[in-house]
Amino acid sequence: MSHTSLPPLPSSDRVDVAARLRDALLGASFTADGMLDLLGAPAYTALARSETVPALRATRGDKPLETLVRLFLLQQPVPHARVADVLPVEDCLESGWLTRVGGAEVTATVDVRPYGGPGGEDWFIVSDLGCAVGGAGGIGSREEGVVLGVGGASTTLAGITVREPVAAALDLGTGSGIQALHAAQHATRVTATDLNPRALHITALTLALSGAPAADLREGSLFEPVADDETYDLIVSNPPFVISPGARLTYRDGGMGGDDLCRTLVQQSGDRLNEGGYAQFLANWQHVEGEDWQDRLRSWVPRGCDAWIVQREVQDITQYAELWLRDAGDHRSDPAEYQARYDAWLDEFEARKVKAVGFGWITLRRTAAAEPSITVEEWPHPVEQPLGDTVRAHFARIDFLRASDDAALLAGHFRLTAEVVQEQVGLPGAEDPEHVVLRQNRGMRRATKVDTVGAGFAGVCDGTLSAGRILDAIAQLVGEDPVLLRDRTPGQIRLLVEQGFLEPAE
């Protein structure tokens, strides 16, 4: 793959220069917190939308941090002498981080954006010039092979990923390296693959500049660069999932028909996971006429894996086509060309009988259970990131429920999970509420209706009494046969545990 029109990248072999550059950036407070202090919240958040004017106005002075923001984030030429006061400028010129322009000025060859790690780490994400924000709405002329930085999809995947010490992690389609960078914090060995060799080069720069261990970088599509006998404890991928006619842009278009790339990725992951290992992806999937979208996704899940699939958003085909045409900057092209591209998208969808496209998260976990659990649900409501612990807890509850029949549930002890509140809904002055709602204020922030028995049961659960003993007490209070109450309540207990409102008491 050749990208002759893209500028040369800094050397990825000069780790010593990257280390000195990192020290200089940190010394000038070129960090996420430092930028927020300098720019203020409005200009800082505007940068995340690829809007640079507020940041340009806020960096008119000659402070070291202002110089670095203009150089690495705003791609402005800066006088050589001013940069020399802040950075090891000759080393950066020699290794390709900077280049001379106009005699007395230098400019950056790549975009470098500060990024705060989950433990307060100061990291730096490298990307092609003008592409710091992934999927930000088009820079007008995105080229084949260009490498984007961190967008909403990247941070979503990083947030939902289960973080626990593992021996081996695999980042498929690494892009600028953000998932590999996260994985390096808790995996002994990180392998990162990408079809685009430029992405692998930039991933090496991201890791070096962030002070992270180097990854095993391999060129190729999906699992092609991975040997048949290689398995992992964690697989993550923010793949080029866009369902589009053709494959114009490597960073987003998978090159397979429809949602075949996402399906292939999911189906091939099962054999690559170690027992108990997780595979976590972002994906798009087609809603096809005459087909249940949930059944479609269930058919993707490989044998021997539990799955939790969450649909976060659905767009009709016109919304979807417009979103990605804007992403590529096609809305700024010749109107006739834009119309032709739009027609091509709708022709493709019509041929496949696609009426809408779903977006969401797919998590697999390798299991030895005889009957794996597959949960496919729609949850478009706000959630609280990071969700890695929530994902891990979901599968732990699945294991518990799979091993617990109704008798075991009644003998078990439960407690209400943290920050669950009860809401009573009814007419003012009514003696009894019409219904009771339990609501989570953390994680998935679910809400579920319960009857008075369910509400009373959940309210008493503090781990001290068994579920059966609590139900016996409730039966006495409401004048119900305790045997009948024990018979009909385990299903409700099971649901409350599955959705995370109750947890087994240790």
Q: What is the pLDDT of residues 203-255, one digit of tens each?
A: 999 999 999 999 999 999 989 999 999 999 999 999 888 888 765 555 565 55
pLDDT of residue 3: 45
CB 345, CB 248: distance < 8 Å: no
3-class DSSP state for residue 101?
strand
3-class DSSP state for residue 32?
helix
Type of residue at 234: L
Angle between helices 388-402 and 152-160 (to 10 degrees): 40
Task: Tell me which residue of 309, 304, 305 sits closest to 281, measured CA to CA.
Answer: 309
Tokens of 24: 């200089």
Quote the CA–CA distance of 445 and 437 in Å, as a whole number.
12
Please give the DSSP secondary-structure letter assigned to residue 253: B
Cross-strand pairs, 171: 192, 236
Task: Tell me which residue of 212, 213, 28 sits closest to 121, measured CA to CA.
Answer: 212
Question: Strand pairing of 216-219 and 187-194?
Answer: parallel
Alpha-carbon torsion, ordered 127, 128, 133, 134, to 10 deg: -90
Tokens of 156: 């979503």
Alpha-carbon torsion, ordered 157, 158, 159, 165, to 10 deg: 120
Please give the DSSP secondary-structure letter assigned to residue 445: -
Give the other-Cβ count within 10 Å of 480's Cβ: 14
- Of the CA atoms within 13 Å of residue 296, those in its CB half-sphere come to 20
Tokens of 162: 């289960």
pLDDT of residue 137: 40
Question: Strand pairing of 502-504 and 413-416?
Answer: antiparallel
CB 207, CB 215: distance < 8 Å: yes
Quote the CA–CA distance of 146 and 198 in Å, as a whole number.
8
Question: Strand pairing of 166-172 and 187-194?
Answer: parallel
Sequence-distant (6+) residues with CB within 8 A of 130 are: 75, 111, 139
Please give the DSSP secondary-structure letter assigned to residue 243: -
pTM of the entire predicted model? 0.93
Please give the DSSP secondary-structure letter assigned to residue 370: S
Q: What is the pLDDT of residues 16-56, one digit of tens each?
A: 999 999 999 999 999 999 999 999 999 999 988 888 999 99
- Of the CA atoms within 13 Å of residue 361, those in its CB half-sphere come to 27
User: Which residue bears the tokens 């781990």?
Assistant: 463
Question: Strand pairing of 78-79 and 122-127?
Answer: unpaired
The residue ranges of the chain whose pLDDT is under 50 are: 1-4, 135-141
Alpha-carbon torsion, ordered 434, 438, 441, 443, to 10 deg: -130
Quote the CA–CA distance of 482 and 470 in Å, as a whole number.
10
Phi-psi region of 365 (alpha: psi -120 to 50; beta: other; left: phi over 0): beta
Question: Strand pairing of 413-416 and 354-366?
Answer: unpaired
Distance separating the N- and C-terminal Cα atoms of the chain: 55
pLDDT of residue 136: 38
SS3 content of the chain, % helix, strand, coil (to 5): 40, 25, 40
CB 363, CB 280: distance < 8 Å: yes
3-class DSSP state for residue 472?
helix
Task: Tell me which residue of 161, 218, 150 sits closest to 186, measured CA to CA.
Answer: 161
Quote the CA–CA distance of 260 and 13 in Å, as a whole number.
37
Type of residue at 100: R
CB 125, CB 51: distance < 8 Å: no
pLDDT of residue 131: 84
Tokens of 463: 């781990």
